[in-house]
Amino acid sequence: MRIEIGALDTLPRDRGVRVTFGEERIALFRIGDEVFAIGDRCSHAEASLAEGEVFDHEVECPRHGSEFDLRTGKALSLPATMPVPTYEVLVEDGLVYLNWEPE
Ligand code: FES
How many angstroms does the Cα of residue 41 sit away from the middle of ligand 1?
9
Give 65-90 pLDDT, tens digit per residue. 999 999 999 999 999 999 999 999 99
Answer whether residue 103 shows pLDDT above 80. Answer: no
Q: Which atom of ligand 1 is nearest to the CA of 46?
A: 1
Give 23-63 pLDDT, tens digit per residue. 999 999 999 999 999 999 999 999 999 999 999 999 999 99
Predicted TM-score (pTM) of the model is 0.95
Q: Which atom of ligand 1 is nearest to the CA of 49?
A: 2
Distance separating alpha carbons of residues 16 and 7, to the nearest angstrom: 15
Distance separating alpha carbons of residues 101 and 58, to the nearest angstrom: 24
- Structural domains in the chain, sorted by start: 2-99 (2.102.10.10)
